[in-house]
Chain A
Amino acid sequence: GIQVEQSPPDLILQEGANSTLRCNFSDSVNNLQWFHQNPWGQLINLFYIPSGTKQNGRLSATTVATERYSLLYISSSQTTDSGVYFCAVAWNTDKLIFGTGTRLQVFP
């Protein structure tokens, strides 16, 4: 099956800093989603981005499907950005495969 690797595993930032999270996947995908899990466990969908670039406020994402990676950019980070960021992928199926996540801590 498709393997998903996320890096870095942990990231510590001061408020206002920018960061880039990476998701590598081992095979072709036509479904790629980025999620944020807050400290209480709730997962929020950030982007559905199997290819191309999208932006939503301080967050943006780019997926280069031919090179099998996706990047999530967080600009001007805030303490509320803390949590775990997951990348999940699939190919012609409802069965998403999740990476192990990047744990982000933003300090004031």
Chain B
Amino acid sequence: DGGITQSPKYLFRKEGQNVTLSCEQNLNHDAMYWYRQDPGQGLRLIYYSQIVNDFQKGDIAEGYSVSREKKESFPLTVTSAQKNPTAFYLCASSHRGGTLGRETQYFGPGTRLLVL
């Protein structure tokens, strides 16, 4: 089945620890995105990537890092510099054909990160 997978479903982080969230898609989409959702809030963009080996910061990139070595994969690392990482993290992807910014985004099931 085509889709977006995220793992793990739940992740616990200790103080000072870096953790990496996985996002894989088999939709042959060029663009991939990472969002953060806090309780009762909308989604905020952390990083996005339009092509392999290239990515841009979103609105809340501080304390996070990404890589895009393969078209199918866009892992997100939550570093120890992110002081309030407890949140729900969602990965999305979309085509990039046609006019920039006019493509539907499809979401993975999300990862809940909790700080111990």
What residues make up the interface of A, taking CB atoms closer than 8 Å to B? 4, 30-31, 33, 35, 40-45, 48, 50, 86, 88, 90-96, 98-101
Contact = CB atoms under 8 A, between A and B. Distances in A.
Contacts of A100: 40-42
Given A41-B88, A98-B44, A31 B102 contact: yes
Given A95-B59, A96-B105, 13 more contacts: A30-B102, A33-B105, A42-B107, A43-B92, A45-B105, A45-B107, A50-B102, A92-B100, A94-B31, A94-B94, A94-B103, A95-B58, A98-B43
Contacts of B104: 33, 45, 48
Interface of B: 31, 33, 40-45, 48, 50, 58-59, 88, 90, 92, 94, 96, 99-107, 109-110, 112
B42 A99 contact: yes
Contact of B50 (A4, A31, A45, A94): A94
Nearest to A40: B109
Nearest to A90: B101
Given A30-B102, A41-B88, A50-B102, A94 B33 contact: yes
A99 B43 CA distance: 8
A35 to B, nearest CB: 8
A35 B102 CA distance: 15
Instruction: Give 7 nearest A-B pairs by CB, closest first.
Output: A98-B42, A43-B107, A98-B43, A48-B104, A93-B101, A41-B110, A100-B42
